[in-house]
Every structure is written in structure tokens, then in C-alpha cells.
Amino acid sequence: MNYRCHFCMKVLTPMKMGPLDRLVWFLGFRQMYCQHCFIAHYRPFGLLKLVLAPFRWVYYNLADEE
């Protein structure tokens, strides 16, 4: 499951972690960026990513139906 940019739909790449990013990493989030748009996003990873995966699927597949 790859995260994609909301604007151009290209796959996001993990950024190098700085001192403050290590604190966020312990919370279960990782900063990723789009190489095309240069926009950074925080995305869950590891166990948190697996826990949130069903909600993500529902949001992207069922929320837009009308």
C-alpha cells in the first residue's frame, strides 16, 4: 500500500528524518513528500498503518458515492 499525492497522484517518497521527526516517528507517523509537487505530508506507518487501513479504504471507496 503506497501513499499517493492528492494533487498529481504520484507515489510519495519518505523524507530524511531530523531531530523532531524522530519524536513524531515514535507516535507512528512518517513525513513523506511528492517529488513532483514538493509537498510534504505526514502519513502513518507500521502498526498504525495496518490499524487505519480499513478506515482509509472506506473513506476512499465509499465516501464519494452518492
Domain span at residue 39 reads: 13-62
The helix or strand, by DSSP H or E, that contains position 31, with its residue range, turns out to be: strand 29-33
pTM: 0.58
The total number of structural domains in the chain stands at 1
Residue 14 is predicted with a pLDDT of: 87
Q: What is the pLDDT of residue 1?
A: 63
Whether 7 maps to a domain, the answer reads no
Over range 1-8, report the average pLDDT.
79
At 51, give phi and psi (nearest 5°). Answer: -70, -40
Cα–Cα–Cα angle for 53, 44, 46, rounded to 5 degrees: 80
Q: Is residue 6 part of a domain?
A: no
* Cα 33 from Cα 17, distance rounded (Å): 12
